[in-house]
Structure 1
Amino acid sequence: MPTTGYCTLEDVRRALRKSQLPGDVSQDEAIAVDAIAAETEPLEKELKQYWYAPAGASILDEATAVDIPTGPKTRDDEHDIPTHGGFVHGASERERFRYRENSDALLELDPRNDRRRELRRDPKREIRIATGEYQDGYQDDQPAYTRIQLERRDVEAVNKLLVIGADGSYTDWVASDEYSGGLWPDALGDDYYVRLNNGGVSELYIDVHALDDDLASLSNGVYIDFDYGHEGIPRAIRRAVALRAGAELAEEAVISIPENATLYNVETKADSMREKAADLIEEYRREDM
């Protein structure tokens, strides 16, 4: 069973004592550890954020049964290269041609053939530009970046960045000497960089001019492997997990006792603990994530 959590058994004991509730923290530590772990992982997925304790943090001394995270996590995702959601006139739109009735259509050359190369689809002109302008001839000194929001906050390092090319193959821009990039602000102006916005929201910027001219596809055009995490577990998150775990333990304790007259009172207090936990994590919640 998972034993990783953002709080300790003592945190849960304090939460239960403050609410004057029973629990199995002292009777069976394994049950309490399971409750902490069960509340930790869903919270990370809900907020799309992960925390870890640095070496020497006091929480590590207090945690005897719970595995407190001590370093960043690694994740890999695939992303589409974002577009404007519509065709750019003259770049991707099909030319409409219609034969007239009673014309010598069978003897005529389809006028679209003469302009087929001119009207060939240009995927790069469909890409949504977040900063800069798409202008041919200024690739070297005027980068134009498209922006992709990553699935986790607080990116610390980009390990791999696979970007699709004209032939459908992928090139790792991190490993290749032909591309440069990293974290903002040091990598600003490079072929790619990752910037952390408000609340640690992580966004990947790719210079459109660094992409191949004839991209094979914009769908699943980018694969990124990255390390992420925020050093230091906030007191609010630590307490919220303890409250959620404590509420679960209290309800299980009274339900296991037949005809317990205090069941209603315990359920009410448990609901109050969950409401308090929700208030504590509200500032970490972002609708755009």
Structure 2
Amino acid sequence: MPEGYCTLEDVRRALRKSDLPGDISQDEQIAIDAIVAETEPLEKSLKRHWHVSVDDSILDEADAIDIPTEPKTRDDEEDIPTGGASIAGEPVTPKTYQQGYTKIRLARRDAESVSQLLVATEDGYEDWTASDDYEGGSFPDALGDDYYLRVNNGGWSELYLDTDHFLDEDGEPILDSYANAVYVFFEYGHEGIPKNVRRAVALRAGTELVEEAVIAIPENATLYNVETKANEMRTKADDLLEVYL
């Protein structure tokens, strides 16, 4: 089934609340296509993926739409930033350290884990996750390791790499170029589809149905009212999603 962040019932509720036309039962596929058409661009524009647990109540009415129940995976080629490094410390314990890290912002928010981390060397690439020579994981447990993954308050996923691995004993770069020096394979997603995301997708999909229905309505006050309400639905959807921008 096609994947989406809301159900047909969500779209029906959005239309009823706005007293707008749009007969989903007449051509269910149009409504399904509208949900799918609004879901994929939303993930790309917000750089997020939502998924639900197998016992989430949304699945009870998702008979025509496949609500995601798992995180997604992605692999990206990244540059190693050379403009500066951040300093990580652990001042809350007697044993302190200072360590330089360079930070890579991943292409998707809510990264859950890194499965492979291929880092350029003088002889090729080395997978830090598969080697006993490197340690890493998620923040804060992996702070001080060779690498760690951190998701900040905005959901942005950031991978920190120990800069010592890219410099020689004199502090000089060991590679001629740090462009495309890292391949990151990671899993990402946020469990639970927030109500505002679910409703926003339903509103946008409902607007598409309304625009289809408007074609059959004569040019009169009724048409103007329908178009006005459709615009209000789209504006409301944008307002609901503003928190994720």
Q: TM-score, normalised by structure 1?
A: 0.77
Alignment of 1:193-232 (within 5 A): 193-211=148-166, 213=168, 214-232=174-192
- Counterparts of 1:191 and 1:260 in 2: how far apart (Å)? 66
Q: Does 1:278 align with 2:238?
A: yes
Q: Offset at 1:44?
A: 0.8
Alignment of 1:113-192 (within 5 A): 128-132=84-88, 142-167=98-123, 169-192=124-147
- Counterparts of 1:36 and 1:198 in 2: how far apart (Å)? 28
Per the alignment, residue 70 of structure 1 pairs with 69
Q: Offset at 1:157?
A: 1.0
Whether the aligned pair in 2 keeps the contact of 1:254 and 1:260 (CA below 8 Å) is: no
Q: What does the per-residue CA deviation read over 1:59-101, in whole Å, with 9 as the maximum and x for residues that have no partner?
A: 01111100000010001111111122xxxxxxxxxxxxxxxxx
Deviates more, 1:32-41 or 1:211-220: 211-220
Whether the aligned pair in 2 keeps the contact of 1:243 and 1:274 (CA below 8 Å) is: yes
Whether the aligned pair in 2 keeps the contact of 1:52 and 1:232 (CA below 8 Å) is: yes
- Counterparts of 1:252 and 1:224 in 2: how far apart (Å)? 43
Partner of residue 202 from structure 2, selected from 210, 217, 242? 242
Structure with greater strand share of residues: 2
Per the alignment, residue 99 of structure 1 pairs with none
Q: Offset at 1:131?
A: 1.8
Whether the aligned pair in 1 keeps the contact of 2:136 and 2:147 (CA below 8 Å) is: yes
Per the alignment, residue 46 of structure 1 pairs with 45
The SS at the match of 1:200 is coil
- Counterparts of 2:69 and 2:59 in 1: how far apart (Å)? 9
Per the alignment, residue 171 of structure 2 pairs with none
Gaps of 5+ in 1: 85-127, 134-140
Alignment of 1:4-83 (within 5 A): 4-83=3-82
Whether the aligned pair in 1 keeps the contact of 2:88 and 2:143 (CA below 8 Å) is: no
- Counterparts of 2:191 and 2:25 in 1: how far apart (Å)? 30
The SS at the match of 2:99 is coil
The SS at the match of 1:160 is strand
- Matched to 1:181, the amino acid is G
- Matched to 2:218, the amino acid is E
Deviates more, 1:210-219 or 1:154-163: 210-219
Equivalences, count: 232
Whether the aligned pair in 1 keeps the contact of 2:113 and 2:187 (CA below 8 Å) is: yes
- Counterparts of 1:233 and 1:216 in 2: how far apart (Å)? 45
Gaps of 5+ in 2: 90-96, 169-173
The SS at the match of 2:32 is helix
Q: TM-score, normalised by structure 2?
A: 0.90
Identity, % of aligned positions: 65
Whether the aligned pair in 1 keeps the contact of 2:217 and 2:223 (CA below 8 Å) is: no
Whether the aligned pair in 1 keeps the contact of 2:106 and 2:158 (CA below 8 Å) is: yes
Whether the aligned pair in 2 keeps the contact of 1:25 and 1:32 (CA below 8 Å) is: yes
Whether the aligned pair in 2 keeps the contact of 1:6 and 1:237 (CA below 8 Å) is: yes
- Counterparts of 2:52 and 2:27 in 1: how far apart (Å)? 26
- Matched to 1:5, the amino acid is G
- Counterparts of 1:162 and 1:3 in 2: how far apart (Å)? 33
- Matched to 1:129, the amino acid is A
